Chains A and B, each alone.
Chain A
Amino acid sequence: MNALAEQVAEQGVASIFLYTHEAHPGEHYPHLTSMAQKFRHAHALRDELGVARPILLDALDGACHRAYGSMPNMTWIFNRAGLPIYKSDWSDTNSVANAISYFLDVRSRRRAGERLVPFAVERLDYRRQDQAAFNAALERNGPKAVEEYRTAYE
């Protein structure tokens, strides 16, 4: 997602990472109990995980995250008017890139004078499942996170 953000930035597409809460709290990154702790974790997202996009923090009670469905790694795209025009219950770079390419084309066609009206579409997209990377992330959070995930899906 960092690379995609760089690729599309010059076309008027901004990207942010919105830090929510710890989906898999562990010994190293436990559940959040204060905004000060939330800021520490958010800085680590940048410094340890290499999130290069602007990182924004939700309120401690997750007001924004909860309003948008509380999925652990979802992606939304908004237009300048504040209308959500894409939402996915999981984040996948190819899916987001495909959507942005489409919306940029819509913008170009409108600028060329074509009259376009919105309509709703549903589609099932597919993401690569990288279990090894996910397991490594759990281990980074600590043995507690590893054990709880194993127990939840045994």
Chain B
Amino acid sequence: MSEPDLLDYNYDAFVPAKFEPWLNFAASPPLGQPAPDFPLWNLDGSETRLSALWSRSSFLIVEFGSFT
């Protein structure tokens, strides 16, 4: 499968050809190895990082999601 266009990440319709190329859990980061870090934004617009969040607590639970 070819690399999908990044612009298509926010696909405009739930059709398999548009959403299936993004589902790639099998290739996600392994457990027990340093995790990739990314910028994130709070609801007030301020920027933070995933690493800033996981470093504040013993454990950080991250649920990824949307409206549906």
Number of interface residues of A (CB under 8 A): 88
What are 27 pairs between A and B in contact, CB < 8 Å?
A1-B63, A4-B61, A5-B61, A16-B53, A16-B61, A17-B65, A18-B62, A18-B63, A25-B13, A29-B67, A41-B66, A46-B43, A56-B42, A57-B40, A58-B40, A61-B6, A68-B64, A69-B25, A71-B25, A74-B64, A80-B55, A83-B34, A85-B31, A86-B31, A104-B59, A138-B68, A140-B68
Tell me which of B16, B42, B55, B57 has the highest count of chain A C-beta atoms within 10 A of its own C-beta: B57
Give chain B's interface residue range (CB within 8 Å of chain A).
35 or more
Q: For chain B, residues 38 to 67, give those with C-beta under 8 angstroms from any C-beta of chain A.
A: 38-43, 45, 48, 50-51, 53-67
List residues of chain B with CB within 8 A of the CB of A149. Answer: 14
List residues of chain A with CB within 8 A of the CB of B10. Answer: 21-22, 31-33, 60, 62
Query: Do A12 and B43 touch (CB < 8 A)?
Result: no
Give Cα distance in the complex from A58 to B26, angstroms: 21
B residues adjacent to A (C-beta < 8 A): 6, 9-16, 19, 22-43, 45, 48, 50-51, 53-68
Asked, given contacts A77-B59, A134-B68, whether A56 binds B40 with beta carbons under 8 Å apart, the answer is yes
